[in-house]
Structure 1
């Protein structure tokens, strides 16, 4: 049987079509960096203090203050107006909505709704990608992400804010993961690790580094969101440049469309292939499917000991990653540094980590590399906690003395 990879060798597995998809994957990585950081950027909490009872132009206090500086019997002690010291003049969503002090829990609600959308979206989007195709869901996910971010400009209530955050969570992972699946399928196997890590490590890292400074240049969270919405013009053209997954089409027994996708790749790459080659490929696919007794699904996965064990290991690994990320985010929230500088510095590790994966992944194997990464992260969190605890105790001792 002619495998898909063997068929792609005839159609071209590293030529113009693959370069186009590599370019589009890099573009989506740049857009994804804007989307993934938009919440952190627009919801930055600048230094703030209560303006009730203060004259014009008072100097900002050393720390945030939610209560009025001057109170008497006629005041309730609750602040009605706040002053802000904006980071580099950037007006955030939080400062405009005054979601601080007693209202700061609204941000936590929006964050929880977003992660709830991610949990549901990982299942729902995967299901529809298997039913409707990879390319339609790729376009849908990117359009919905851009549209939801744009509509946030007009959603000035907690309810609308949560709805938009939930929608973004639904499609958040799909808007950049689907294009990588397609890129891996159509790319030469020996170049898959290099190309995927270039898109992720270089372009995603570059986008995340410059995103805060793009926001600074716009000066307002509204203009930043509006700028994010502009790529919605080009996303629908992905239908024209990205072929549908051949493996998915064959699994759905859409043989004519599978041949059309292969012809499209061959034409773009300047290859001439006889019709008999396509026919032989499809006949082998039909024969293989006839010999398959059952259609595999998620429940079959749990019935296979090896796959079930692999799935549980992956779930544990993702749990460790999420736990690690939450700890780091919590630790960094107390660092007295501009959030825009902090964001740019925190993502610089993406590039060296991706270069490391390019060098080591095909040499030591995926399993060894994944285990090593998890081990290093756990040790880093442990060391970080000891260091923070040491300096916190020293600071407390000096303060008491």
Structure 2
């Protein structure tokens, strides 16, 4: 604020001279809760003006947690099993999300969000890998993607209305943390991957798991097929369980680097489109819900087309179309036009996202599948770390334009009629 005599300013309705020194705002803030009609952590802790950078930093530190969690959990999944990694990730997410509600500053908040970040990708990718390793290639596309459409897409659509109904960020954090506890039922309901057992030389446990499926499916595996499975699994165990083998073999190394760079582009667009929901115009909650709802039809299109046209075409084409739509949205008025283009861009970006998360584990050897998939996801979060600052740069741009406009206004006689 200007270090001015504000009594004089109000008495004369003459603004301070542009050369007046500035000081930090002395009297706190009152927030007009329009777009989000309840206090948020930003308004509650006054993370605005000189503290506004705490918002993107808190989000970026959460993404750093995702990178750390992805590297640790991927290694746990390949060495100790998919289920232990899944349980660890969800447990971290529960305590991090619950702990967030008890914070009252910046550093305690970002530590809790770091823990949430450690879980945020692994809790999804581990369950996805288990599905991929059990379902045959003819059914893999619709089984994996239909679950994304129903649960991820449905959850994203419900989230803004749940937030609006609860109207308290602390309560919302508690409510969102509770489902993570369902992971405690995982050892009793979700089977460990048979492919992982075989890759670790645990053929007997793999056979035991197959017998468990016999009971569930009420069918019997032919003895000759089971004997052949044991023979092949024992003789053809993949050697080496280090991520290094992906970089030692030229074809695998090239494939991994291409997957990483592609996923980087998809992930940063995906995250930025979510964060821009509030700045596109229109109702924030409706815009968020409509953009999230595109997950369902996008996934259905993937189910119909993926096995027909292949992975490469359905990653590259939607990614290019989504990028063009995002670029176009920058040059249209805020409101319906920008919202429509952003929603369309999200639709195509969702298609590319769903395809690449299926394509990645399909291309990786079983022994390093979780570590490799986590590495690809982790690489994406290196770029996603920048997305809060990309969105935050919009605010900086608006502030600088406002300053220029104010300077231009002061150079005219526009204030003279106010004096009378």
TM-score > 0.5, shorter chain as reference: yes
1:91 to 29, 39, 42: 39
Partner of 2:115: 167
Partner of 2:273: 328
1:260 aligns with 2:205: no
Partner of 1:301: 246
Displacement after TM superposition at 1:363 (Å): 0.4
Decide which moves more: 335-344 or 345-354: 335-344
1:137 aligns with 2:85: yes
Q: After superposition, what is the alpha-carbon deviation per residue over 1:370-397, rounded to whole angstroms, capped at 9, x for unaligned? A: 1212221232233333446999xxx99x
Partner of 1:63: none
Aligned to 1:347, what secondary structure does the other structure show?
A: helix
Partner of 1:226: 174
Distance 1:83 1:303 in 2: 56
Partner of 1:250: 198
Q: Does structure 2 retain, via aligned residues, the 8 Å contact 1:317–1:374?
A: no
2:258 to 310, 313, 317: 313
Partner of 1:192: 140
Partner of 2:30: 82
Partner of 1:101: 49
1:1-400 aligned at under 5 Å gives the runs: 77-85=25-33, 87=35, 89-273=37-221, 278-289=226-237, 294-295=239-240, 297-325=242-270, 328=273, 332-387=277-332
Distance 1:129 1:227 in 2: 28
Q: Does structure 2 retain, via aligned residues, the 8 Å contact 1:361–1:369?
A: yes
Q: Does structure 2 retain, via aligned residues, the 8 Å contact 1:184–1:192?
A: yes
Distance 1:275 1:331, change over 3 A: closer
Gaps of 5+ in 2: 1-5, 7-22, 339-400, 410-420
Distance 2:112 2:177 in 1: 14
Distance 1:261 1:277 in 2: 15
Q: Does structure 2 retain, via aligned residues, the 8 Å contact 1:90–1:215?
A: no
Distance 1:375 1:151 in 2: 40
**Normalized against structure 2, the TM-score is what?**
0.69
Partner of 1:3: none
Aligned to 1:82, what secondary structure does the other structure show?
A: coil
Distance 1:233 1:309, change over 3 A: closer
Displacement after TM superposition at 1:205 (Å): 1.4
Displacement after TM superposition at 1:270 (Å): 1.1
What RMSD, in angstroms, separates the aligned Cα atoms of the two structures? Answer: 3.1
Aligned to 1:244, what secondary structure does the other structure show?
A: coil
Distance 1:232 1:358 in 2: 28
Gaps of 5+ in 1: 1-52, 54-74
Q: Does structure 2 retain, via aligned residues, the 8 Å contact 1:84–1:95?
A: no
Distance 1:320 1:230, change over 3 A: closer
Displacement after TM superposition at 1:175 (Å): 0.6
Distance 1:260 1:95, change over 3 A: same
Aligned to 2:197, what secondary structure does the other structure show?
A: helix
**Normalized against structure 1, the TM-score is what?**
0.72
Distance 1:378 1:336 in 2: 20
